[in-house]
């Protein structure tokens, strides 16, 4: 469990996919710490229900009266990561309406998803788990620069990255799609994106924004909802039963994300990978020195962005996508 008592009064946090599971529990905790928590989600009805639940039910370790007296604010912004237009609109609304953004948590994700393409022509898992968050992060970075120091970007990955490789010539998996392969590739991408973004920020002397990736643990959640259709009948129930018996509930699964948001020691680190509220060792392709930059360049190519040597110029060019 994250034991830090850090308050987040006057801080603004954006969490994607916060209407259920780990994302909602993360929002609940950071709201309890006094933050203005923005739930960036696709399903408005479900997100409004999540807001009511968060307001009325504190984290397990907090007294209800104390919770209501010390909580922050909650807000909803529409975001559908399956649409790059929606990503740009969400970013534009955030930049227009929010004075600051101090913490961005790229939490939303899908797993074992059918082989379907988005309106932008990308495999859905690739766009939701990586490309959408890649673009959203780049669009929000200038606002986070103005909000620094001690701003943080957290990318929720998974231990399944260990089994992944990335075919940079077929990252959309046109020739070799498989539901689990697609998911694991994007979880590796989350880690590589974290490393490369941290490197580019440092190389550009942009200080006060740290980047983290993490494994939350195996948690029964809606991320497994498609597996019965794409892997085998009953796979979703099997996964959730296994997770309920042996692994973490959603509140426990949110702890490492919360740790990366608030822990005092993590304020001095960037680009690292975390598990169980501590730095974890990376293995296999996550340690390939060429992969982070290659993924960055391929991601820019897919999004029709020109990678610039000067990172500040690059971010200005990315921002023009919202015009």
Whether residue 84 contacts residue 120, with contact meaning beta carbons closer than 8 Å, is answered with yes
What residues are labeled active site? 183
CA dihedral 43, 46, 47, 50 (to 10 degrees): -160
C-alpha span between 154 and 150 (Å, rounded)? 13
Coil, helix or strand for 244?
helix
Cα distance between residue 107 and residue 137, in whole Å: 12
- Chain centre distance of CA 318: 19
Start-to-end CA distance of the chain, whole Å, equals 43
Is the separation of the CB atoms in 152 and 26 below 8 Å? no
Helices (H), 33-106: 44-56, 64-70, 84-97
CA-wise closest residue to 190 among 292, 287, 288: 292
What sign for the dihedral angle of Cα 68, 70, 76, 81?
A: negative
In whole angstroms, give the CA distance from residue 309 to residue 317.
12
> What secondary structure letter does DSSP report for 304?
T
């Amino acid at each position: 469990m994250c034991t830090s008592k850090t308050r987040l009064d006057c801080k603004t946090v954006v969490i994607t996919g916060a209407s259920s599971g780990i994302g909602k529990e993360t929002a609940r905790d950071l709201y309890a710490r006094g933050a203005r928590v923005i739930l960036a989600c696709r399903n408005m009805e479900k997100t409004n229900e999540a807001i009511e639940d968060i307001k009325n039910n504190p984290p397990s370790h907090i007294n209800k009266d104390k919770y209501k007296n010390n909580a922050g604010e909650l807000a909803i912004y529409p975001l559908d990561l399956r649409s790059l237009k929606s990503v740009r609109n969400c970013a534009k609304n955030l930049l227009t309406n929010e004075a600051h953004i101090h913490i961005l948590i790229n939490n939303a994700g899908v797993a074992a998803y059918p082989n379907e393409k988005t309106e932008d022509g990308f495999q859905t898992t690739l766009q939701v788990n990586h490309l959408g968050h890649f673009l959203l992060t780049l669009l929000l970075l200038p606002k986070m620069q103005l909000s620094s120091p001690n701003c943080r970007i957290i990318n929720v990955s998974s231990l399944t990255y260990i089994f992944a490789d990335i075919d940079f010539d077929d990252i959309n998996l046109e020739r070799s799609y498989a539901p689990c392969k697609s998911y694991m590739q994007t979880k590796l991408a989350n880690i590589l994106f974290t490393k490369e973004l941290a490197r580019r920020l440092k190389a550009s002397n942009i200080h006060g924004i740290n980047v983290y990736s993490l494994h939350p643990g195996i948690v029964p959640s809606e991320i497994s909802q498609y597996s019965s259709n794409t892997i085998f009948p009953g796979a979703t129930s099997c996964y959730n039963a296994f997770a309920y018996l042996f692994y973490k509930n959603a509140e426990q699964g949110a702890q490492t994300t919360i740790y990366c948001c608030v822990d005092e020691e993590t304020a001095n680190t960037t680009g690292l990978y975390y598990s169980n509220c501590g730095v974890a060792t990376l293995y296999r392709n996550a340690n390939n020195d060429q992969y982070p930059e290659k993924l960055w360049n391929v991601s820019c190519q897919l999004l029709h962005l020109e990678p610039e040597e000067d990172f500040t110029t690059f971010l200005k060019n990315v921002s023009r996508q919202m015009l």
